[in-house]
Structure 1
Amino acid sequence: MELPKATPVREVEADQGFDLEAVSASLEPVILRGAVSDWPVVKAAKTSDTAMHDYLSVFDRGAKVPVSVGSPANKGRVFYTEDFTGFNVERGTSSMTELLQRVKNHGGAEHPPLIYLASADVDECLPGFREQNDLDFGQYRPVISIWIGTRTRIAAHNDLPLNIACVAAGQRRFTLFPPDQIENLYVGPFETTPAGRPISLVDFANPDLDQYPRFTEAMAHARIADLEPGDAIFIPSMWWHHVEALGTFNILMNYWWRTVPAFLGTPQDVLNHAMMTLRDMPQDEKEIWRQLFDYYVFGESSAPRDHVPENIRGILSPVTEESARQVRAFLLNRLNR
């Protein structure tokens, strides 16, 4: 069966800059063409892998970095072993110097080994690099990570923060899905994952539609984005994205940020606790709790408190940093019983 073709992601010309607030308000991904085309690393990458290697070496202080390596037989796919008891890559550490040299030496092979530095702090890996290659996030303080490697295929996953991913070198293909496609992506376990987030078990290069028949429906809702050096993409919170690095020497920089205060914590903790406490209850009891969540969490936030005197509203009131601390202490006490 032929899969539906993904819809191209909307593009905006961004070589003269872009409005961060307008972009981050989008409910769908947006390609920011040329957003980082003025970065020196992009200009070096467009010259040659050697020029880019030499440019990066200026900032290389030999930092120890986490590296995954795999056989050419992986065809770049970072995934599980066949029995799902481990992963198809070996993980260890390397100096940044060795990593850059190995990617330069092997990335151009017809069937390169998988060599992959994933989501490392760019300031620790390449101190001073961001003085020449960076985006202005104004009031926000994003987490900024760098990804370096040969050709790779990273399974579809999602992230809580908003995300702008910038292609500094190589080419990247993003295949993206709205959050509501979770049922059609056949997501794997929570505890054992290649990179900390649950991933789709579907091999996008060779999908087994007998085992994963609903993937056809997922592809009917898919978006696709092909990026060159200097391009960037905005990915809204919780959108699923499968990422392929297609160049001989690939570098990506990620900016992750949230627009809500950090003291609110992460909804993932709530989901984990809900699976422990609610999922295996009788269905009629779960329906009651669904109604309670709709009323207290997902409905109009003021409705549960408008009729309650302000001085006794407690957790019904808008959360502050102080009240968040109090609730967290209460929860820890309950969980530790």
Structure 2
Amino acid sequence: MFDQAAPIRTMEGCSADALPLAELLEGGTPTVLRGLARDWSLVAAGRESPHAAMEHLRAHYNGRPVQYNWGAPETAGRPFYVEDRTALNCEVRRGGLDQVLDELAAYLDDPRPPTYYVASLLVDYCMPTLRADNDLGFAAQGVQAPPAIWIGNRVTASCHYDAPNNIACCAVGRRRFTLFPPEQIANLYPGPLEPTPGGQAVTMVDFRDPDLERYPRFREALATAQSAVLEPGDAIFIPSMWWHHVQGLDPFTVLVNYWWGSMPDWIPTPMHALYHAMWTIRDRPEREKQAWREVFEYYVFGPAGQAGAHLPEAARNILGPFDEMAARRMRAMLIGKLNR
């Protein structure tokens, strides 16, 4: 279906110790970074065989329990929903990573295996020594971006967005990434906000067999799609809020990703504001909603200094830039108001 998708922009010659972060952020464009992780020991082990990659992971595993998704063969590698969309088609289990790897190994040659998916597991929690020769140079640029690891079989992460910026490194097995710009949200038909297969709303469209009668606007989304297949050692930069569909193409796959935000830690996720706005504004009469749209445009979506520009600096309070102390006061005020 994505044969006609535009190719994702590609950069060659990048290295793990010389990340072009400033260039990527300034451009804000999805970018494949060919060979970025080519020198990782995990990539080398995976090129040898899936079993060698599993042994490499076992050698670094510290024995802590991990959480993973398991689905019957009928899930076909797609953590998603049951028919009425009120529950998920996979169950969350806890166990040892070595046990998960053993079970994955047992199904390597099975054309219809159960779904196994260790998702967004912090490397420092379970395999801290892995970073010695399997890491990117974020710290050297003053960016805190602890790596997370994703381990499974031919798993598909349905199309979704993440608020932080993301660099994802394909370590073992191939993956296809298909991306859509943020403005395509309505054409991608997002599902429930909760529960979700991975913490974010996902498209209701099955990319393997899209039902264009039920989801006709998906045609418009397809016209904006960008796609690329990543080989082991390749990476991809996914800008904040871009929708991405990720398909594992081999019987054993490992990905390592790095999320980092554009704001300091004391600025919370805008998802809180989204939930609050849905609660307080969405169901009001249309005339009131349009008036509130203007208020938000003035205070939030317009230039940051607009609302306080005509006031003396001492009188601006939260109309001025937020610092850590102002953020604490705002949090305390909101908690107080919500608890009334």
For the superposition of Structure 1 and Structure 2, which TM-score range results when normalised by the shorter chain? over 0.9
The answer for the alignment partner of 2:221 in structure 1 is 218
User: In 1, Cα distance between the equivalents of 2:32 and 2:245?
Assistant: 15
Q: What is the aligned partner in structure 1 of residue 8 from structure 2?
A: 9
Match of 1:114?
115
Q: Does 1:307 align with 2:306?
A: no
Match of 2:295 among 284, 292, 296: 292
CA distance 1:4–1:184, change in 2 (3 Å): farther
- In the alignment, which residue of structure 2 is the partner of 1:152? 155
Q: Which moved more, 1:142-151 or 1:11-20?
A: 11-20
On the 8 A contact 2:88/2:195 being kept in 1, the answer is: no
Q: Secondary structure at the match of 2:61?
A: coil
Once the two structures are TM-superposed, the CA of residue 4 in structure 1 deviates from its matched residue by 8.1
Give me the CA root mean square deviation: 1.4
User: Could you tell me how far apart the structure 2 residues matched to 1:103 and 1:25 are?
Assistant: 40
Q: 1:67 to 1:303 in 2, by over 3 A?
A: closer
Structure 1 distance, partners of 2:2, 2:60, is: 44
What SS does the aligned partner of 1:254 have?
A: strand
* Conservation of the 8 A alpha-carbon contact between 1:10 and 1:30: yes
Task: Point out where structure 2 has 5 or more consecutive residues left out of the alignment.
Answer: none
Match of residue 78 from structure 1: 79
Q: Deviations over 1:218-260 (max 9, x none)?
A: 1101110210100000000000011101112100011000121
Matched residues in 2 for 1:4 and 1:212: separation? Answer: 20
Partner of 1:189: 192
**What is the TM-score with the length of structure 1 in the denominator?**
0.96
* Identical residues among aligned pairs (%): 46
Is residue 21 from structure 1 mapped to residue 37 from structure 2 by the alignment? no
CA–CA distance in 2 between the matches of 1:64 and 1:3?
Answer: 38
Q: Tell me how far apart the structure 2 counterparts of residues 196 and 56 of structure 1 sit (CA, whole Å).
A: 25
Question: CA offsets per residue over residues 150-188 of structure 1, 9 Å max, x none?
Answer: 111111110000000001101111111100000101101
In structure 2, what residue type is equivalent to 1:169? Answer: V
- Tell me by how many angstroms 1:303 deviates: 2.2
For 2:165 and 2:20, the matched residues in 1 are separated by 15
Total equivalences in the alignment: 336
* Equivalence for 1:274: 277
Moved more, 79-88 or 227-236: 79-88
The code of the aligned residue for 1:211 comes to R
User: What amino acid does structure 2 have at the position aligned with 1:86?
Assistant: A
- Structure 1: gaps of 5 or more residues: none
Question: Structure 2 CA distance, aligned partners of 1:279 and 1:143?
Answer: 36
Instruction: Using the TM superposition, name which of 56-65 and 115-124 deviates more.
Output: 56-65
Please say if residues 181 and 242 of structure 2, whose CA atoms lie closer than 8 Å, have aligned partners that are also in contact: yes
Residue-by-residue CA offset, 1:273-331 (whole Å, 9 max, x unaligned): 00100111111111111111111111122222121111111111111100111111111
Q: Secondary structure at the match of 1:247?
A: coil
- In structure 2, the partner of 1:239 is 242
CA distance, structure 1, for counterparts of residue 308 and residue 57 of structure 2 = 56
Seen in structure 2, the aligned counterparts of structure 1 residues 192 and 317 have a Cα distance that, compared at 3 Å, is: same
| Map of 2:174 onto structure 1 | 171
**Is the CA contact (8 Å cut-off) linking 2:2 and 2:227 kept in structure 1?**
no
How many angstroms apart in 2 are the aligned matches of 1:219 and 1:335? 42
How far apart in 1 are the matches of 2:241 and 2:294? 24
